[in-house]
Structure 1
């Protein structure tokens, strides 16, 4: 197996994960971007960019969006932490797969003995 065949997966940015969590909460509530943006007193475009991970949210904006979503900021941050941990585990699994593939490629006999 070609070690380079396993694609490198960069770790996502905090803003990307945070945006995904906010979008998930909003969608779970069945609310529109417009509704939440109005309640948070931010533009719909800005909220959309936050949800897509294209903008960094200030603490004030994040608090306003959480209030508009009627969720605790601490719960949102806890969910972000859970997602990051799950991605960390996946990243570690990919690293192990790469190391295993490298071992197989460099020494098939050594891999067979270790298995």
Structure 2
């Protein structure tokens, strides 16, 4: 399950990367049209519109990914993560080892107590 989530995340990032390329291409085409002696306003408007749409798609996609990363980094529950469960298990094992050590120390004190 976690691997499919990772694949989906990578696909989303790849889609954002393609949109960034579209942003750059449309910006270049708009600038290229502006550099002409007589720019075609229809072409310029089309390239500018595509640039703005692609830019909005990039912003939206990056915002979604940032929100996801914020959830992961703050420890909030999220799909596909087992980090909090692993951390809780690790802490529980640490507490068990600590309790064993304390009991062993107590046992040592109890067994040595009557000898002294």
**Into which bin does the TM-score normalised by the smaller protein fall?**
0.3 to 0.5
Instruction: Provide the TM-score with structure 1 as the length reference.
Output: 0.34
| Larger relative contact order, structure 1 or 2 (CA cutoff 8 Å, min sep 6) | 1
Higher helix residue share: 2
